[in-house]
Chain A
Amino acid sequence: MSVISAAVRDSSVIAHRNILNVLRTPGALVTGIVQPVMFVLLLGFVFGGSLGGDQYRSFLIGGILAQTLTFNASFTAVYLAKDLQLGLIDRFRSLPMSRVAVILGRTTSDLYTSVISIVVTLLCGLAVGWRTSAGILEILAAVGVLLLFAFAVSWIGAVIALTARSVEVAQSLGLVWLFPVTFVSGAFVSVSTLPGPLRAIAEWNPVTSVATAARELFGNAAPAGFVAPGGWPADNAVLYALLCSIGIIVVFAPLAIAQYRRISKR
Chain B
Amino acid sequence: MIQVENVRKTYGAFTALDGLSLTAAEGTVLGLLGPNGSGKTTTVKVLTTLLAPDSGDAWVAGHSVLDNPDLVRRNLGLSGQYAAVDEKLTAFENLHMVGRLYGMNRRTASARAHELLANFRLTDVAGKRAGTFSGGMRRRLDLAGAIVARPKVVVLDEPTTGLDPRGRLDTWEVISGLVSDGTTVLLTTQYLEEADRLADHIAVINHGSVIAEGTATELKDGAGAERIDITVRNAVDLQAAAAVLALAADGLGTPEVDPAALSVSIAAPGGHQMLVRVLAELDARSLPVAEASLRRPTLDDVFLQLTGGTAKTNPQSTPDTSMEGVPA
Contact = CB atoms under 8 A, between A and B. Distances in A.
A20 B88 contact: yes
B186 to A, nearest CB: 13
Interface string A35-46: 000000000000
Interface size class of A (residues with CB under 8 A): 20 to 34
Given A10-B101, A24-B129, A87-B81, A93 B89 contact: no
B281 interface: no
B49 A25 contact: no
Interface string A198-231: 0000000000000000000000000000000000
Given A20-B89, A90-B78, A91-B145, A96 B84 contact: no
Contact of B86 (A21, A90, A95, A101): A21
A87 B97 contact: no
Contacts of A31: none
Contacts of A101: 101
Given A88-B85, A94-B73, A96-B73, A264 B50 contact: yes
A96 B103 contact: yes
Contacts of A17: 86, 89, 93, 97
B50 A13 contact: no
B84 A87 contact: yes
A94 B77 CA distance: 8
A88 B102 contact: no
A97 interface: yes
Interface in A59-107: 86-88, 90-97, 101
Contacts of A92: 101
Contacts of A87: 80-84
Contact of B49 (A16, A86, A94, A97): A94
A87 B78 CA distance: 11
Contact of A20 (B52, B73, B93, B98): B93
Interface string A1-33: 000001001100100110011001100000000
Residue among A10, A13, A25, A101 with the most chain B CB within 10 A?
A: A13
B76 interface: yes
Contacts of A93: 48-50
Contacts of A266: 51
A6 B104 CA distance: 11
Contacts of B98: 91, 95
Nearest to B75: A96
B73 A95 contact: yes
Contacts of B93: 17, 20
A94 B101 contact: no
B70 interface: yes
B74 interface: yes
Residue among B49, B85, B86 with the most chain A CB within 10 A?
A: B86
Residue among A17, A21, A264, A266 with the most chain B CB within 10 A?
A: A17
A13 B86 CA distance: 13
B64 to A, nearest CB: 15
Contacts of B48: 90, 93-94
A95 B102 contact: yes
B49 A91 contact: no
A152 B227 CA distance: 69
B101 A88 contact: no
B145 A25 contact: no
Residue among A20, A24, A88 with the most chain B CB within 10 A?
A: A88
Residue among B49, B93, B100 with the most chain A CB within 10 A?
A: B100
A238 B86 CA distance: 41
Interface string B29-60: 00000000000000000001111100000000
Contacts of B97: 13, 16-17
A21 B77 CA distance: 24
Contacts of B86: 17, 21, 86, 88
B50 A96 contact: no
A221 B35 CA distance: 70
Contacts of A6: 103
Contacts of B145: 91
Contacts of A94: 48-50, 73, 76-78
A147 to B, nearest CB: 25
Contacts of A20: 88-89, 93
A10 B81 CA distance: 24
A165 to B, nearest CB: 15
Contacts of B103: 6, 96-97
Interface string B5-37: 000000000000000000000000000000000
15 contacts: A13-B100, A17-B89, A20-B88, A21-B86, A24-B129, A87-B80, A87-B81, A90-B50, A90-B80, A91-B84, A92-B101, A93-B48, A94-B48, A94-B77, A95-B102
Given A24-B129, A94-B77, 7 more contacts: A9-B100, A13-B97, A87-B83, A91-B80, A94-B73, A94-B78, A95-B98
The 10 closest A-B pairs by CB, nearest first: A87-B82, A91-B84, A96-B73, A94-B78, A87-B84, A94-B48, A97-B101, A24-B88, A96-B74, A13-B100
